[in-house]
Amino acid sequence: MDKILVGLKRVVDYNVRVRVKSDGSGVETDGVKMSINPFDEIALEEALRIKESGGASEIVVVSVGTSEAQQQLRTGLAMGADRAILITTDDAPDVLSCARALLEIVNREDPGLVIVGKQAIDDDNAQTGQMLAALWGRPQATCASKIELDGDKAIITREIDVGMERIEIDLPAVVTADLRLNEPRYVKLPDIMKAKKKPLDEIAFAELGVEAGPQIAHSSYEPPSERDKGVMVDDVQGLVTSLKDRGLL
């Protein structure tokens, strides 16, 4: 395989407690640590392992967002990716618009495999990979916990409700990475320095000929309601009584 394309999304770090803006217009990001979406980081790690085993010759990472997303792409380059592409936009494109933009990059790069995270931890849509595969007209395998390449085919192991499922798909294809696929490597300082010299190309969203307007409008955001404190009971009868008092029985 000549090339693997990996999607990376800039999100609020998973260790940060998310706060809603006071006016309810969105999530507070000023002064907040931002990172690569964890599932996308797993996707990149898997691509790197495939390359290191001789299954690919080049890894290209791509992201959609503002110029600040360069930070996450540079981290991807520090992990071992060869090139990076940033589709720049000041708007917040919906999932379908992002998938259409990624399709334009796929058509330009002609990868043998596209790997993205199964979902982003900010919106939890879990739709980008599936939409990209549909637009591209190629097979897809979601929530992969193991990827095995065999010539022009890939064998994907995925976790389902009743156990493990193994499916075979033709390449090129889109695969979305699950949490159990691997554990991403730690980025070392020398690799961070080397990443500064690797190519990072910027392409304006408008240049791709894709409309970036959101298909879904968010009217407001609000934090979840606070949970009631737990109640200690002495015995089963006390538990039953407490549940009845709360209208749960």
99-134 pLDDT, tens digit per residue, is 999 999 999 999 999 999 999 998 888 999 999 999
Q: Nearest Cα to 39, choosing from 140, 157, 124, 149?
A: 124
The predicted pLDDT at position 212 comes to: 67
Which residue positions in the chain have pLDDT lower than 50? none
Q: Nearest Cα to 119, choosing from 225, 14, 32?
A: 14
The predicted pLDDT at position 213 comes to: 64
Tokens of 42: 């797993």
The predicted pLDDT at position 233 comes to: 87
- Tokens 């033709």, residue? 170
Phi, psi for residue 173 in degrees, rounded to 5: -155, 170
The predicted pLDDT at position 26 comes to: 79
Give the span between the Cα atoms of 8 and 149, in whole angstroms: 22
Tokens of 232: 């200690």
Q: In what order do the strands lie in the sheet with 163-170?
A: 163-170, 153-160, 140-150, 174-177, 113-117, 3-7, 58-65, 83-88, 200-204
Peptide bond just before 38 cis, omega within 30 deg: no
Rg (CA), the chain: 21
Give the span between the Cα atoms of 198 and 176, in whole angstroms: 26
Give the span between the Cα atoms of 123 and 125, in whole angstroms: 5
User: How would CATH label the architecture of 3-220?
Assistant: 3-Layer(aba) Sandwich (3.40)
> Pairing relation of β-strands 113-117 and 174-177?
parallel
The predicted pLDDT at position 69 comes to: 94
Phi, psi for residue 226 in degrees, rounded to 5: -70, 140
- CB burial of 203-218 (b: ≥16 within 10 Å; e: otherwise) equals bebeebebebeeeeee
Kindly tell me the sign of the dihedral angle through the C-alpha atoms of 137, 142, 147, 148: negative
The predicted pLDDT at position 214 comes to: 65
In DSSP terms, which residues pair with 175 in a beta bridge? 115, 141
The residue length of the chain stands at 249
Kindly tell me the sign of the dihedral angle through the C-alpha atoms of 113, 116, 117, 119: negative
- Tokens 């990868």, residue? 111
